[in-house]
Amino acid sequence: MKKSMVTEWIPALLILLFAYTAISKLADYRRFTMVLEQFPFLRSTSHIVAWLLPLSELMIVALLFFPATRLAGLASSLLAMIAFTVFLVYMITFYPKLPCNCGGVLEWLSWKQHVAFNSVFLLINFGAIIIYPKVSKD
């Protein structure tokens, strides 16, 4: 695998993903809050989560952007993707009739398709974490 792919392209892909999701949530904050309120376990904290989630995604973007913090950004993005994928699996298991209300270009995905989408990014992200320390030293 080429050094630039791991040190530049994969982080750039993750930056695009996390920046897009954060900006779309903040741009349509009201809709995002209403979506969160549909989940019984988030109803009471939906306004807090509606701010914390996109802000944490923007923090991940910042970590991924700078070479000195890129490995921390890769680890943070992996943890965020794992958490969101677990959430999706939970939704499929316990709330299968609730529609996936993801915004933007991902709104056409079903819950299961979204898990597949996330799984691809999880694999890419995990691979980058394994390889990054080796290629960034070269």
Please state at what angle helix 10-27 crosses helix 111-137, rounded to 10 degrees.
Answer: 140
Contact 1, 30 (CB under 8 A): no
Per-residue pLDDT, 100: 65
pLDDT at 3 over 80: no
Instruction: End-to-end CA distance of the chain: give it in Å, rounded.
Output: 13
pLDDT at 79 over 70: yes
Per-residue pLDDT, 71: 95
91-130: pLDDT as tens digits:
889 877 776 666 666 777 888 888 999 999 999 999 999 9
Residue predicted with more confidence, 6 or 34:
34
20-68: pLDDT as tens digits:
999 999 998 999 899 889 888 888 999 999 999 999 999 999 999 999 9
Per-residue pLDDT, 106: 72
Per-residue pLDDT, 1: 54
For residue 43, CA distances in Å to 22, 46, 50 come to: 20, 5, 11
